[in-house]
């Protein structure tokens, strides 16, 4: 499943591509809190905003800016069980506050390791294990 909307013009998209695009936007919309949805739907409406010093502004609501607080990442992690002496593959969702994030790397290509690299990794694991 594609996770991001395309850059194609709507007129050039097939019905199947339009359905995929609609599904992506519905998923994104469902992740938003209700107060964010309300403000997005109010964009362009006439409103009055009063600051803490009671100075008011009347105008049309423009862009709203939001602060990222937390990210979720779906991971598969190799875990060793000392009780059973086996490795397990855990599939889980990890929530990380953005204040704990130092760097995010977006992976554009992922290739399977060849046998030579796997053997080298296993050798290093044995040599470096305590």
pLDDT along the chain (130 residues), means of 10: 68 89 90 91 93 93 90 89 90 93 81 72 71
pTM over 0.85: no
* CA–CA dist 68, 98 (Å, integer): 7
Q: Is 3 left (phi over 0), alpha (psi -120 to 50) or beta?
A: alpha
Q: What is the pLDDT of residue 2?
A: 54
Whether the Cβ atoms of residue 89 and residue 78 lie closer than 8 Å to each other: yes
Look up residue 18 and give its two tokens. Answer: 């339009």
* CA–CA dist 50, 59 (Å, integer): 11
Q: What is the pLDDT of residue 97?
A: 94
Q: What is the pLDDT of residue 34?
A: 92
């Amino acid at each position: 499943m594609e996770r991001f909307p395309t850059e194609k013009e709507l007129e050039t998209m097939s019905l199947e591509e339009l359905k995929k695009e609609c599904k992506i936007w519905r998923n994104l919309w469902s992740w938003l809190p209700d107060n964010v949805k309300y403000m997005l739907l109010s964009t362009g409406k006439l409103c009055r905003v009063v600051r803490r010093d009671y100075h008011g502004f009347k105008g049309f609501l423009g862009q709203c800016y939001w602060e990222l607080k937390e990210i979720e990442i779906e991971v598969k992690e190799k875990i060793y069980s000392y009780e059973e002496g086996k490795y397990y593959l855990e599939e889980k969702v990890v929530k990380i506050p953005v204040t704990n994030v130092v760097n995010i790397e977006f992976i554009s290509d992922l290739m399977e390791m060849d046998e030579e690299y796997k053997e080298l990794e296993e050798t290093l694991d044995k040599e470096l294990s305590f």
